[in-house]
Each structure stands twice: as C-alpha cells, then as structure tokens.
C-alpha cells in the first residue's frame, strides 16, 4: 500500500447559470513513502481539488483516499495531525509578524507555548527571515510570504507535505530560492505531493510525475520515462523575425513527422525521423526561403512535448493564481 492513496475521486461543482464542472473525474493516485510526486497540469485540471480532498478541506462526491492507512474522509482530525499544507495563495495572517504566525500555527497543533516558540524560531532561521521576524507580514514581499506559508506547513516536521503550486506568481529568483528549500526538505525522507503548472518545476523537484487533465491522471512516470514515451528527436528553430512564423511552420511541417508547435513566440519545434539529416535539410530550406535564423538545433523531447502529445494542447503557464472552480 502506498503512503498516499486515492482511488476514483470524483468532485463536481454546479456554478450558478453554468454547466456542471467535473473538477475530478475518477482520479487515482499513489505516492510511495519518502518520494516527491508532482501533479502536473494546466489551470482547472483538478490539481488543487485533489490537494483539497487529501488535506481534508473538501469531501469528494465519490472515491476514497488514505494517508499512511488512515482514511481521509473517516478520520480527518488524525490526518490533520500528520500533514503540513501550503497553498498557492499565501495563507498567513497579515497583521501578525512572521514569528507570531509560526507560533500561532504551533499552538494550534497543540505543541505547547514553549515548543511552539522554539520551533518558530528554528523555522525563521531556516527560511532566512531573522531580520523581518518581528515585522507584520503585510510588509513582506511575495517571496517572503511564501516562505512564511511554507514554514507554517513544516511546523510539526510532518511526515507528509502538500505543496499546492508553491512558486506560482513568484519572480524567477524567488522561485529558484524556494526550489532549493524544497529540495533540502525532501532529501530527509518527507513524502511530498506538489502541484505545479510549470513543467520545469516538476522536472527539477519530483521523483515521479502524474500528468492531470480534466480531472484524471492521463500519464505517470519519471520525467525521463515520460519523455521517452513520446520518443524520437526534435528539430528546434528560433527565427529572428516573428513575422516569419507561418513560413517556418509550413517548412517544418513538410520535413517533420508531426505538427510543428511554437513555444515562447519565436521558437518552433517539430518531431523528425532522422535528426541530423532533417536538421541539415531544414536549414538548407530556410536559407533558400530567406528566413533569418537566430538558432537551430536538435533536442530531446521536453515535458512540454509530452504534455502536447498527451492532451492535444500546449501547457500554458498563465498568470492566474487561482484555479477557477477547482
């Protein structure tokens, strides 16, 4: 039996005047102990809903879930004593200082005033917030709030940690900093379920990735396994002028074995059969057509390619910080 198990989770919402949303549609999940599993999917895929079920915030319409053999639905208080959870919105009290926030969480885990204070001080040091520990959180930057929120999830050194889009909305520097912290945490055997819409994040942090779309797991494996399942080589072209996009698409379509996709506006990727030969042919054709190239090369499939292949659409990292109805 895996440490975290969920079977056949179904959760529907009926927004007023809108069709019923099946946020979870028979989702199955198994997270072995001491591993990091990422739920990867776009907004509205059902990632947050899954975490909400497992952290006792909502009850599913159907299905079952256990953590370390404890039934999430039957004994939520027992689950709450063994989990730490950190949401995509930093759930901290604006008017309390960083230290007070963490002490409050410790008190509410019933650690006692002394241990709660001790642990809060430890976490403040771990998260490099000593200088701001006595300032109200409302004056903190986004990255600092996330760190306090994440620290709140770690107060009891929980055996299970849920991180719901831990770096959504953060600038790249804060994101890298938070990744370092999470990597340190997971190296000591904590079982982690994290959700993300960033392929790069799943690739970097997770032992195992479950790709979610429309409330179901549509693929799972390590990042390498998922990439291998897509197979083949790819040719990537980056054009100088975005206006050349259509010409590049047609050119790639005629040389590749699949549909060319564009990432980041100017970079086009297409799966090919014989990598080096195809690259040479494509570059010659681009030169003949007078398309100025900034970069050209072969590359292995990325998780972006995996996602496209599995879902038929590109995984878009949007600026939305909440997952609507999920």
Partner 1 sequence: MSATTTSSAASRTLQPVPGTAVSRFLSDGWVTTWRNLMKIIRVPEILLFSLIQPIMFVLLFTFVFGAAIEIPGDGYESFLMAGIFAQTVVFGSTYSGAAMAQDLKDGIIDRFRTLPMSGAAVLVGRTNGDLVINGLSMIVMMLTGLAVGWRVNSSPLEFLAGVALLLLFAYAFSWVMAFLGMAVKSPEIINNASFLILFPLTFISNAFVPSERLPEPLRIFAEWNPVSSLVQSARELFGNVPPGTPVGDAWTAQNPIATVLIGVVVLLVVFVPLSIRTFATLSR
Please write down the HEC assignment for all residues of 28-75. EEEECCCCEEEEECCCCCCHHHHHHHHCCCCCCCEEEEEECCEECCCC
Dig out the tokens for 298 from the structure: 């072969």
Query: Shortest gap between Cβ of 184 and partner 1 (angstroms)?
Result: 15
In 3-state terms the chain splits into helix, strand, coil percentages (rounded to 5) of 40, 25, 35
Query: Shortest gap between Cβ of 162 and partner 1 (angstroms)?
Result: 8
Q: Is the dihedral of CA 275, 277, 281, 287 positive or negative?
A: positive
Query: Shortest gap between Cβ of 245 and partner 1 (angstroms)?
Result: 40
Neighbours of 156 (CB within 10 A): 17
Number of residues in contact with partner 1 under rule CB under 8 A: 47
- Distance in angstroms (rounded) separating the CA atoms of residues 23 and 21: 6
3-class secondary-structure state, position 227: helix
Taking residues 26 to 55 in sequence order and writing x for each that binds partner 1 by CB under 8 A, - otherwise, the string is ------xxx-----------------x--x
User: Packing angle between helix 98-108 and helix 142-153, nearest 10 degrees?
Assistant: 20
- Distance in angstroms (rounded) separating the CA atoms of residues 169 and 318: 9
Which parts of 55-114 interact with partner 1 (CB under 8 A)? 55-58, 77, 80-83, 85, 87, 89-96, 100, 104-105, 107-112
Give me the residue label for tokens 């927004």: 15
* Residue whose CB is less far from partner 1, 142 or 189: 189
Query: Shortest gap between Cβ of 52 and partner 1 (angstroms)?
Result: 7
Q: State residue 250 phi and psi, 5-degree precision.
A: -65, -40
* Residue whose CB is less far from partner 1, 190 or 311: 190
Query: Shortest gap between Cβ of 263 and partner 1 (angstroms)?
Result: 32
Query: Shortest gap between Cβ of 191 and partner 1 (angstroms)?
Result: 7
* Residue whose CB is less far from partner 1, 102 or 308: 102
- Rule CB under 8 A: choose which of 8, 136, 143, 258 binds partner 1: 136
- Distance in angstroms (rounded) separating the CA atoms of residues 24 and 101: 33
* Residue whose CB is less far from partner 1, 38 or 85: 85
Query: Shortest gap between Cβ of 46 and partner 1 (angstroms)?
Result: 14
* Residue whose CB is less far from partner 1, 39 or 85: 85
Q: How many CA atoms lie within 13 A of 181 on its CB side?
A: 25
Does 221 engage in binding with partner 1 (CB under 8 A)?
no
* Residue whose CB is less far from partner 1, 207 or 304: 207
- Distance in angstroms (rounded) separating the CA atoms of residues 151 and 97: 13
Query: Shortest gap between Cβ of 217 and partner 1 (angstroms)?
Result: 21
* Residue whose CB is less far from partner 1, 82 or 284: 82
- Distance in angstroms (rounded) separating the CA atoms of residues 276 and 282: 10
Contact call for residues 62 and 121 (beta carbons, < 8 A): no
- Distance in angstroms (rounded) separating the CA atoms of residues 24 and 10: 5
* Residue whose CB is less far from partner 1, 124 or 155: 155
* Residue whose CB is less far from partner 1, 96 or 317: 96
Which parts of 171-200 interact with partner 1 (CB under 8 A)? 189-191
Which parts of 139-158 interact with partner 1 (CB under 8 A)? 152, 155-158
Residues that bind partner 1 (CB under 8 A): 1-3, 32-34, 52, 55-58, 77, 80-83, 85, 87, 89-96, 100, 104-105, 107-112, 115, 119, 136, 152, 155-159, 189-191
């Amino acid at each position: 039996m895996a440490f975290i198990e969920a079977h056949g989770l179904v959760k529907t919402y009926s927004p007023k005047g809108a069709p019923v949303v099946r946020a979870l549609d028979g989702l199955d999940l198994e997270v072995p102990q001491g591993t990091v599993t990422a739920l990867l999917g776009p907004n509205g895929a059902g990632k947050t809903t899954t975490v909400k079920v497992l952290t006792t915030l909502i009850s599913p319409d159907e299905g079952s879930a256990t953590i370390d053999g404890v039934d999430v639905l039957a004994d939520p208080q027992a689950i709450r004593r063994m989990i730490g959870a950190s949401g995509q919105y930093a759930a901290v009290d604006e008017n309390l200082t960083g230290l007070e926030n963490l002490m409050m969480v410790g008190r509410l885990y019933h650690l006692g005033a002394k241990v709660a204070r001790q642990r809060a001080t430890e976490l403040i040091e771990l998260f490099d917030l000593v200088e701001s520990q006595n300032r109200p959180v409302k004056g903190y930057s986004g990255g600092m709030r996330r760190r306090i929120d994440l620290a709140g999830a770690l107060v009891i050194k929980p055996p299970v940690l849920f991180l719901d889009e831990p770096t959504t909305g953060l600038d790249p520097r804060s994101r890298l900093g938070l990744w370092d912290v999470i990597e340190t945490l997971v190296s000591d055997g904590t079982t982690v379920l994290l959700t993300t819409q960033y392929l790069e994040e799943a690739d970097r942090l997770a032992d195992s990735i479950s790709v979610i779309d429309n409330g179901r797991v549509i693929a799972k494996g390590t990042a390498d396994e998922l990439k291998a399942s897509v197979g083949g080589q790819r040719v990537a072209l980056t054009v100088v002028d975005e206006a050349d996009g259509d010409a590049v698409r047609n050119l790639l379509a005629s040389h590749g074995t699949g549909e060319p996709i564009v990432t980041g506006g100017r970079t086009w990727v297409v799966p090919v059969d014989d990598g080096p030969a195809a690259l040479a042919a494509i570059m010659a054709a681009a030169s003949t057509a007078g398309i100025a190239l900034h970069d050209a090369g072969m590359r292995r499939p990325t998780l972006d390619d995996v996602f496209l292949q599995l879902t038929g659409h590109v995984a878009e990292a949007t600026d939305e910080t909440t997952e609507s109805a999920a």
